[in-house]
Structure 1
Amino acid sequence: MPLPIINSIATWILKKRIHQIELFIKYPNEVQEELLFSLVKTAENTVLGRQYDFFTIKSYETFAQRIPISTYEDLEPMIEQTRKGMQNIFWPTSIKWFAKSSGTTNAKSKFIPVSHEALENCHYKASKDLLSLYLNNNEDSQLFVGKSLRLGGSKELYQDNNTFFGDLSAILIDNMPIWAEFSSTPSNRVSLMGDWEIKLQAIVHETIHEDVTSLAGVPSWMLVLLNKVLEQTGKSNLLEIWPNAEVYFHGGVSFEPYREQYKNLFPKKDFNYYEIYNASEGFFAIQDQNNSDELLLMLDYGIFYEFIPMDTFGTASQKIVRLAEVELFKNYAVVITTNSGLWRYMIGDTVRFTSLNPYRIKVTGRTKHFINVFGEELIVENTDKALAQACLATQAEVIDYTVAPVFMSGKEKGAHEWMIEFKKAPQDYAEFSQILDSTLQSLNSDYEAKRRNNMTLNPLILNIARPQLFYDWLKDKDKLGGQHKIPRLSNERTYLEQLKSMQLTYTHS
């Protein structure tokens, strides 16, 4: 069958989903409530369901009163039992897949349960919805004339006690339908390679001769691959290799620090960028409009949402609200109940609602990744935006960064210490630091107050990382590829000190 006909048929099939998306946009709270009671009823005969008497839960209030908020550490004993072969503990259907994730808050590995329902009705459904929304917004798309370049995790799947664990991307690739491989590159064999550096070369070898129309992966790691492609081919930009490339689907880390670099890689005015928000625990939100930085919260993926306002998070007055009660522009920690048996589980992310009709969000950071040593309440969204502005103003390009506090000592005031690895360094580091600092003050009034007249915080300290410092740190921690990254912000100095010990430090302040 000719490729244009395949493209037309695939587009028609995928766009049939749009009216269902419009349904949950119109009735969001009803869809979420119905979903909650479906999850409760499905699991009422599990060990957990009997413990909390799911059978008698008939209202959200009872659900919230009876079941406590949980973290991975709370659920780990039950998850370990399931990994050893026991079933029906927190979800009734058999769970044999576990997404291995170190997260970014704990060096210890986490094994997130992935049920068949989550694979089909969350992750794969979301992948199709991403395409549906994109095609609905881009009528002339020729997405299926070529292939999608996917960049997944670097871990192989390992069998353990008749269960399997590995990167979520590896689990998804291993279980995807045969037709999906035909529309993707590299092959499953290469995608599932364990050694990131060998895999990187294999991906380049397989993809440079394909007609790539779309790309999907984490911005920082995709940049590594795309620069390798240019290095190998000797081309000046990627459209010389893949002239029909039209969209990059990205997630995992903020796109802001990398946006200008991608514009240089794909120098085409109508090239599209679509953001997604997913994790090992589920697929949560998708950009549903061209040229937008807001994500539509997807409400029919088997995930029930609750939110903790960050101004009460971790305090005696902490409160939890459901979707119908959220407010615009407040920062919330995300709590999920899922069709993999995660009940009122804190995923560690924070979001802000930018629209309530429909419910659209921006991801603002992590509950444990911020700096608030001096009352400045600095979040990743602030630093990503400020860094992007400083780069734009000085024609600099960044590979990676992390920030830590400099604690007060005696009469010495505090400060924030940055480690930045540049792909293209600014001509004047002092100018870069000044723009970075002033932009942070314009974005965050608490930081501005602490910086005013150096009242509490001295000017930031800028460390210039040697080439490949962040790559070497990740390699040393066995975290190359996938969604692994060093925490951008920390309330303590562990990560920064490790990086400083790995390079011959030279500092600009």
Structure 2
Amino acid sequence: MISLKSGLAKLFAKRIYRKVQKWANNPIETQEKVFQGLIADAKNTAFGEDHDFKNIHNHADFVKQVPIRDYEALKDYVERVVAGEENVLWQGIPLYFAKTSGTTSGSKYIPITKESMPSHVEAARNAILLYIHETGKSQFVNGKMIFLQGSPILTEQNGIQLGRLSGIVAHYVPKYLQKNRLPSWETNCIEDWETKVDAIVEETLPEDMTVISGIPSWVQMYFEKLQEKTDKKIGDIFKNFNLFIFGGVNYEPYRAKFENLIGRKVDSIELYPASEGFFAYQDKQGEKGMLLQLNSGIFYEFVKADEFFNESPKRLTLKDVEVGVNYVIIISTNAGLWAYNIGDTVIFTSLKPYRVIVSGRIKHFISAFGEHVIGKEVEQAMKEAVLDTDIMVSEFTVAPKINPEEGLPYHEWFIEFENEPKDLSKLAKRLDESLQRQNTYYFDLIQGKVLKPLQITQVKKDGFHEYMKSVGKLGGQNKIPRLSNDRKIVDKLLYVN
């Protein structure tokens, strides 16, 4: 028998599906409307006046007037907003700053305005509702749901509240979900991640958990602690758990480990949230890629990744993109970010509707020898290499070994195994062959004997966990980069290993 709550969820899902289809089926017009609205709303701000927004009528004008910037280049404007100045990047002052730790900038303060805040909440909600509409599964709304996230405790600076994005969003959980939601407010406020996960284990063990959400690496830690405590599979502890919602990293490298921990397959929904905006979510279970959010106050531009560091790379709008090309994603938003490089690269998997996968970070690549290896390629190589084996990988990252003590340079793969393979050299061979198939530059360098095939360095159990703890990035939205063009991460990893 369908409960009232479950039945209402299906009706709501049908309504939202129709609403989403309306803009998804009119993508170019939707984006043009967003663009014109952003320019009109910000023309009297300091940024709008500095960049002559009054005379921007189309994308070509925008490209001439507004250069691509990263956080460092926008920092002077942001600091004026942090100091309490109004009408700098957007009308008035922001509701919040999502405080993040930048790799080059120290702390970053990403503005969230009253206009941008709703999209952070609605996109996650809509992802679940579209899942209900597609599958007809809605009984999970009657059970308990857990969202592993940062502390909701906020501080204030010049009338603007500061916190982690996930902590800010915690203040916007709809009333109809409040009774179903875990962990408790008190547990969510625990800052130390390990203490927090222990408390979450105690709170959730007696509950009927139906939905679990979070970054895969941190949900894995939660699952392992549950298993240690009960000596049971997660699917036996939570018999009605059938939906995993994740974002932040590719799930594929974790899938086999998760299915082993759970003891069965469960449905999953991928999200693409960031402090700068909620960009996409998985709208179909059988489709590769996430539906790009075109009606959420975000105007998108794209630059081919292999042209990005040219002097004047071509900035494309949605109508010019192609399937299968690696693009740097550039955003302008109703939070006051303009032609802003968030650092991510995406690949379109579909143009009707526009769906993307996150392929990596423009700064996270290996091209020490001109090979241009990206995150998507190393993850695909790992997926192929462990296919039809009993090898389970907990975590991995890749770095170049430029000056080995002897022989040719190579890529060094640092892998933490759940159950280590009998033959590391066989796994290394499969990884290398996959990478050569995917990347012609890498293939040429191996065949031309500029590089020798990759080598694996085994990381001890919990080595990545200890590394993250040692650099103060344990828990929350923090994650290990899949690859780097230097050895800063792996040198520290070797130290804790």
355, 359, 371: which one pairs with 1:360?
355
How much does 1:11 deviate?
Answer: 2.7
Partners of 2:257 and 2:394 within 8 A in 1 = no
249, 262, 285: which one pairs with 2:258?
262
Tell me whether 1:500 sits opposite 2:497 in the alignment: no
Q: How far, CA to CA, are the matches of 1:162 and 1:424 in structure 2?
A: 51
Per-residue CA deviation, residues 451-487 of structure 1 (Å, 9 max, x unaligned), is 126x111121211112222111111221111221222
How much does 1:93 deviate?
Answer: 3.6
Please tell me the residue identity of whatever aligns with 1:476: S
Per-residue CA deviation, residues 195-234 of structure 1 (Å, 9 max, x unaligned), is 1111111111111122111111111111001111121222
Q: How far, CA to CA, are the matches of 1:356 and 1:149 in structure 2?
A: 33
How much does 1:3 deviate?
Answer: 8.1
295, 299, 315: which one pairs with 1:304?
299
Q: How far, CA to CA, are the matches of 1:485 and 1:61 in structure 2?
A: 37
How much does 1:409 deviate?
Answer: 6.9
Tell me whether 1:181 sits opposite 2:175 in the alignment: no
Please tell me the residue identity of whatever aligns with 2:109: F
Q: How far, CA to CA, are the matches of 1:258 and 1:388 in structure 2?
A: 9
Partners of 2:9 and 2:129 within 8 A in 1 = no
Structure 1 residues not aligned, in runs of 5+: 504-509
Q: How far, CA to CA, are the matches of 1:406 and 1:189 in structure 2?
A: 46
Counterpart in 1 of 2:90? 91
Tell me whether 1:446 sits opposite 2:444 in the alignment: no
Segment of structure 1 superposing worse, 393-402 or 463-472: 393-402
Tell me whether 1:275 sits opposite 2:270 in the alignment: yes
Per-residue CA deviation, residues 236-289 of structure 1 (Å, 9 max, x unaligned), is x112121111211111111111111122233445x2111111111111111111
Q: Secondary structure at the match of 2:307?
A: coil
Partners of 1:154 and 1:481 within 8 A in 2 = no
Q: Secondary structure at the match of 2:67?
A: coil
Q: Secondary structure at the match of 2:387?
A: helix
Counterpart in 2 of 1:386? 381
Counterpart in 2 of 1:370? 365
How much does 1:408 deviate?
Answer: 4.6
Name the TM-score, length of structure 2 as normaliser: 0.96
Tell me whether 1:80 sits opposite 2:79 in the alignment: yes
Per-residue CA deviation, residues 347-391 of structure 1 (Å, 9 max, x unaligned), is 100011111111111111000000011121111101111112223
Q: How far, CA to CA, are the matches of 1:375 and 1:429 in structure 2?
A: 27
C-alpha RMSD of matched pairs (Å): 1.9
Count of aligned pairs: 497
Q: 1:97 to 1:379 in 2, by over 3 A?
A: same
Per-residue CA deviation, residues 36-63 of structure 1 (Å, 9 max, x unaligned), is 1111111122111122222232222212
Counterpart in 1 of 2:130? 133
How much does 1:72 deviate?
Answer: 0.2
How much does 1:411 deviate?
Answer: 8.6
Name the TM-score, length of structure 1 as normaliser: 0.93
Q: Secondary structure at the match of 2:129?
A: helix
Q: 1:79 to 1:401 in 2, by over 3 A?
A: same
Partners of 1:273 and 1:291 within 8 A in 2 = no
How much does 1:410 deviate?
Answer: 10
Please tell me the residue identity of whatever aligns with 1:77: D
Q: Secondary structure at the match of 2:124?
A: helix
Q: Secondary structure at the match of 1:399?
A: strand
Counterpart in 1 of 2:111? 113
Please tell me the residue identity of whatever aligns with 2:442: Y
Counterpart in 2 of 1:40? 39
Q: How far, CA to CA, are the matches of 2:459 and 2:111 in structure 1?
A: 37
Identity among equivalent pairs (%): 38
Counterpart in 2 of 1:426? 421
Q: 1:228 to 1:412 in 2, by over 3 A?
A: same
Please tell me the residue identity of whatever aligns with 1:11: K
Q: How far, CA to CA, are the matches of 1:401 and 1:155 in structure 2?
A: 30
Q: 1:177 to 1:274 in 2, by over 3 A?
A: closer
Q: 1:191 to 1:19 in 2, by over 3 A?
A: same
